[in-house]
Amino acid sequence: MLLADTRGRPLRDLRISVTDRCNFRCTYCMPKEIFNREYEFLARELLLSFEEIVRLAEIFVGFGVEKVRLTGGEPLLRRGIEDLVGELAAIDGLEDVTLTTNGSLLTRKAEALAAAGLHRLTVSLDSLDEATFQAMNDVGFPVADVLAGIEAASAAGLAPVKINMVVKRGVNDDSIVPMAGHFRGTGHIVRFIEYMDVGHSNGWRLDDVVPAAEVVGCISKRWPLQPADPNYRGEVAQRWRYADGAGEIGVISSVTQPFCGTCSRARLSAEGRLYTCLFATGGTDLRASLRAGASDAELQELIRGVWQARTDRYSEVRSEATIDLPKVEMSYIGG
């Protein structure tokens, strides 16, 4: 049975956070001042098991979900993640199993992920400049190791890789053109993401946002760009092709050009709470029902009720009042 929310938006994509832990401390996501040694991450028994994740994924596919993306935290920190990929890839009707990673563990994990049935991969990389990148990941992780992970993924058959760059004014905006130039002609696709007010810990200010239009203009001055049609309805990134045929880039403009009207994404946190928006202030506990012995029919009814009541359009109504709402942290809900 296909589902639609109060605005007629179908349920097509499910993002599953498999852990709230990460080995980076990116300043816009998990700033070290908060996510320090005293911070209490979820205990292992609170995380959804692979069996629970697969069971829920099968129910979501029954409602029309076509794509599952594994996120975190850093999903490659979850032991046996390739086993979960294999189980998800075997679900009848699920067309696309993808994963977003910081790339730090890709050189040792890429082959196993590809062999398990992972279809596509997205790597977060915010600058090619060593000092800038290390300052942003805040653990001193080198650019070269992420680039090596991207090459390992490509060699394993996971090309083209999508590279996500969160752009923050005065921090890494001077890396836009070098990033585009590095991956131009490689087949990989860089997606430039407007800095967003996800969660409450990153100190977000509107002045820090570099609008997507500015990013496109900056790159187009060096290599002319032409708009490209979306690959599918509801695609988050706006596509732009190089006029000389050297590939494409994408921009994700959640702040300046909201796409709430076509959002078809549900999010499942590592401990099994269902969220209907990246900027949500609360979720629905599915783990409690799972572990209380709920039948598939009961879980279906619970999920159906949540999605059909969905009204979210945070980015369309963003204001001083909504910015201060106690939103869920991105490291917990998945980006």
Q: What is the pLDDT of residue 305?
A: 97
Confidence of residue 332 (pLDDT cuts 50, 70, 90): low
pTM score of the predicted model: 0.93
Confidence of residue 323 (pLDDT cuts 50, 70, 90): low
| CA nearest to 219, candidates 148, 167, 291, 285 | 167
Give residue-wise pLDDT tens across range 188-201. Answer: 999 999 987 665 55
Q: What is the pLDDT of residue 107?
A: 98
Average pLDDT, the chain: 92
Look up tokens 């005293």; give the residue: 38
Where residue 308 falls (left for φ over 0; alpha for ψ -120 to 50; beta otherwise) is alpha
Give residue-wise pLDDT tens across range 262-317. Answer: 999 999 999 999 999 888 888 999 999 999 999 999 999 999 999 999 998 877 77
Q: What is the pLDDT of residue 87?
A: 98
CATH superfamily, domain at 13-333: Aldolase class I (3.20.20.70)
Partners of residue 70 on adjacent β-strands: 16, 99
Q: For the chain, give every domain's residue range.
A: 13-333
